[in-house]
Amino acid sequence: MGFIDIGAGFSLFNYQLYFFIFAPILHPGMTFLEEIKRRRTFAIIAHPDAGKTTLTEKLLLFGGAIQTAGAVKSNKIKKATTSDFMEIEKQRGISVSTSVMAFDYRNYKVNILDTPGHEDFAEDTYRTLSAVDSVIMVIDCVKGVEPQTRKLLEVCRMRNTPVIVFINKMDREGQNPFDLLDEIEKELKIKVRPLTWPIGIGKSFKGVYNLTAKSLNLFQGDSKTTVEETLTINDINDKQIDQRVGVDFAAQLREDVDLIDGVYDTLNTQKYLDGQISPVFFGSAVNNFGIHELLDCFVEIAPGPKERDTDKGLVKPDDKKFSGFIFKIHANLDPKHRDRIAFLRICSGTFERNKYYHHVRDNKELRFSNPTAFMAQQKSVIDEAYPGDVIGLYDAGNFKIGDTLTEGNDFQFKGIPSFSPELFRYVNNMDPMKTKQLQKGLEQLTDEGVAQLFTRKVDGRKVIGTVGALQFEVIQHRLKAEYNASASFDQVSLYKALWISCDDRKKMEAFMQDRSAHIALDKENRPVFLAESAWLLQMAQEKFPEIQFHLKSEF
C-alpha cells in the first residue's frame, strides 16, 4: 500500500478575491450536524438556450458571490458568463462541461452545479445528477417543454430527485401560463404547484404575484442590473394592485388566483422532497426578475445532503467517518498550468486538508495539500469541507470517474456508470511528431468522460465513442488548444459497443476467439464487443447464450 501526497506545484489564481466568499469553513459556534443541515447542493438543468447558465449567474449575483453578470445572447458572447470558461464554450455560447460554484446565502451554504444543456453531453449531466440532492429545471415560456427537458427529468425521476421549476423569459411573448403548466404535467408526468404567478406576458409583462407572501413584485424591465420593486399586499383585492398594474390586469390576476387555488393542490413539502410535486416560479433571469423568490424558497424547502448507496449498504451524511466519490474530472481548468482536477462530492464525515484518505480502487492512501473550492474557473484552498460540498482535488492521474475515497473503509459508491456510445470514429494522428501529446490528450479527455476510448484487439486502432456529434468537435478543439496535438476522425460503421462478461472463463475465451475481429478493450482493459449491426449482435447472443452483454459499464 502506497502513501501519496497530492498537491505539489498546484497553481491557484485570483485566490484572494474569492476565498472569503465561498471557502467552506466551519462557521463559529456551529456543530458538525448544523454544518450538514445548512448545505444545499443542486444542479440546474434545461434544454439548450432556455436560460440555464444565465439563471446560474443571477443566483450568484443575488447570493453576493459576484458583482456583475455576463449576458448570453443568440450564442454571441460579449462578456462570457461566469460558469462558461472553456474556450469552445465562449465561442459557441453553450455549456459543454459541468461547472461548480458555491456561495453563502441567509446562513445556508449553496453549491450549484451548472450542467451542459446540449443533448450531446447528456452523460456528463447524468453523472452530475448523481452528485446533487435536488434540481432546478429551467423552461423557456416561449418554447415550453423541449426534448432534452424530457430526458433530463427522466433521470431525475429514476432517482426521485426533488425538482423546482423556473419558467423563464416572461418578458417575451410566450405561452399562456395555465397552458404551460398543463404541458409540464402532461409531458413530464409531474404534478406542479405555482408559488408565484405572472401578471401579463411579453411587452405587457407587469410582474409576478407571490402566492405565499401575498406580495406584488413589479417588473421594471429597463435594466439588467436592477432588481424588482416589491410591494406587500395584505389582500388580493387591495386597490394598490389596480393602481400599479392597471384595472384589467388586476382583475385577471384575481381570477387566475381563484382558479389556481381550485385546480392545484397546496404544496406538501414532503411530496416535493419525494419528487412527487414541483413548485413553480415565473420570471426573467436576464432581467434579474423572479430570482429572489426562487432562491428564498429553495433554501427553505430543498433537501440537505442525503444518504448514498454503496456496495456495502447506505452511507448517511452524519456518519462520523469521511467518504466521497469522484463524479467528474477536468484537465486544464487553467490552460496556463496544465492542471487536472477531480471533482469530489463529500457524502459523510469531515474532509480535512493534509489528512490521508483511502483510495478504494487502487488500495492507496492519498493526502491532499491543496484541496479547492470553486467559483467556476476561480479556485481557493480550503482546510475543511462537509457532506454536500463539492471540492476539487489536484490529480496526477490517480482518479477515474466513480472512484471512492474513504477514511479507511472498503466500499464503493454506486450509480455512476458509463453508457454505451451512440457514435464511433477512428482516430488519426495528423502529426507523427506529436504522438505522445495526442496519446496523453486522448487519455486525459476520455478520463473526464467527454468520450470513451476503445482499442481494437485485432489491429490496435483507437476508436472513440460518444453520445453526440458535438463531442468530436470538442475533442478535436481541445486536443489542439490544450495539448498541441492534431487529430482527424474517420467514420466507422458500428451499431453498439457493449461490455461483456461471463461466469465461465473458458466460454468467455472461446467467444473472444470466435469474435476476435469485433473485440476491443476499454481504458480499464475490460473486454467490449463492437457490434456492426443489430443483427450481428443478435447472432452473437444466440450462438453464445452464456455471454452477458451490458449497455453500461456498472454491472
Q: CATH number, domain at 492? A: 3.30.70.3280
Mean pLDDT confidence for 86-103: 54
440 near 483, Cβ under 8 Å?
A: yes
Q: Measuring CA to CA, which residue among 523, 419, 423, 431 is closest to residue 479? A: 431
Flag whether pLDDT at 301 surpasses 60. yes
Domain co-membership, 46 together with 75: yes
Flag whether pLDDT at 19 surpasses 60. no
Give backbone dihedrals phi and psi of 390, rounded to 5 degrees, phi first: -115, 120
Mean pLDDT confidence for 16-24: 34
Domain boundary pick from 283, 301, 319: 301
Beta strands in 349-472 (DSSP E): 351-352, 356-359, 364-368, 372-375, 378-381, 384-385, 390-394, 404-406, 423-429, 452-456, 462-466
Asked whether residue 438 is assigned to any structural domain, the reply reads yes
Flag whether pLDDT at 432 surpasses 80. yes
Q: Is 550 helix (H, G, I), strand (E, B) or coil?
A: strand
pLDDT at residue number 303: 97
Q: How far is CA 515 from the centre of its chain?
A: 38
- Rama region for 415: left / alpha / beta (φ>0; ψ in -120 to 50; rest): left
Q: Measuring CA to CA, which residue among 388, 395, 372, 394 is closest to residue 22? A: 372
Flag whether pLDDT at 191 surpasses 90. yes
Flag whether pLDDT at 92 surpasses 70. no
Q: Is 440 helix (H, G, I), strand (E, B) or coil?
A: helix
Asked whether residue 255 is assigned to any structural domain, the reply reads yes
508 near 499, Cβ under 8 Å?
A: no
Domain co-membership, 249 together with 105: yes
Residue with cell 479507511: 408
As a whole number of angstroms, the distance between CA 546 and CA 540 comes to 10
Q: What percent of the chain has pLDDT over 90?
A: 50
Domain boundary pick from 301, 316, 335: 301
Domain co-membership, 314 together with 393: yes
Domain co-membership, 112 together with 202: yes
Domain co-membership, 213 together with 293: yes
228: pLDDT confidence band, cut at 50, 70 and 90?
low
Q: Which residues pair with 456 in a beta bridge?
A: 520
pLDDT at residue number 50: 84
Flag whether pLDDT at 489 surpasses 50. yes
Asked whether residue 164 is assigned to any structural domain, the reply reads yes
Tell me the pLDDT tens digit for each residue of 229-279: 677 777 888 888 898 899 999 999 999 999 998 899 889 999 999 999 999
Instruction: Enter the pTM of the model.
Output: 0.77
66: pLDDT confidence band, cut at 50, 70 and 90?
low
Asked whether residue 411 is assigned to any structural domain, the reply reads no
Domain co-membership, 297 together with 350: no
Residues 6+ apart with CB under 8 A from 127: 327, 328, 401, 416, 449
DSSP 87-151: HHHHHHT---S-EEEEEEETTEEEEEEEPP-SGGGHHHHHHHHTT-SEEEEEEETTTBS-HHHHH
Q: What integer best gives the mean pLDDT of the chain?
A: 83
Q: Is 280 helix (H, G, I), strand (E, B) or coil?
A: strand
Distances (CA, A) of 360 to 323, 375, 395, 417: 10, 29, 16, 17
Give backbone dihedrals phi and psi of 15, rounded to 5 degrees, phi first: -65, -50
Flag whether pLDDT at 42 surpasses 90. yes
Region of poorest pLDDT, from 255-259, 298-302, 391-395, 534-538? 391-395
Q: What percent of the chain has pLDDT over 70?
A: 82
333: pLDDT confidence band, cut at 50, 70 and 90?
low
* Number of separate domains in the chain: 3
Q: Measuring CA to CA, which residue among 419, 429, 498 is closest to residue 460? A: 429
Asked whether residue 11 is assigned to any structural domain, the reply reads no
Domain co-membership, 481 together with 544: yes
As a whole number of angstroms, the distance between CA 460 and CA 521 comes to 10
Mean pLDDT confidence for 338-359: 91
Tell me the pLDDT tens digit for each residue of 446-462: 877 778 899 999 999 99
Domain co-membership, 130 together with 194: yes
Flag whether pLDDT at 440 surpasses 50. yes
Domain co-membership, 138 together with 55: yes
Flag whether pLDDT at 75 surpasses 70. no
Domain co-membership, 377 together with 468: no
Residue with cell 474530472: 329
Residues 6+ apart with CB under 8 A from 154: none
pLDDT at residue number 273: 95
Q: What is the CATH number of the domain that holds 216?
A: 3.40.50.300
Domain co-membership, 213 together with 102: yes
Domain boundary pick from 244, 269, 301: 301
147: pLDDT confidence band, cut at 50, 70 and 90?
confident
Distances (CA, A) of 81 to 121, 271, 377: 19, 34, 11
Asked whether residue 22 is assigned to any structural domain, the reply reads no
Mean pLDDT confidence for 333-345: 72
Domain co-membership, 270 together with 192: yes
Residue with cell 421594471: 220
pLDDT at residue number 420: 79
Asked whether residue 9 is assigned to any structural domain, the reply reads no
Asked whether residue 323 is assigned to any structural domain, the reply reads yes
As a whole number of angstroms, the distance between CA 96 and CA 102 comes to 19
Q: Which domain holds residue 434?
A: 423-550
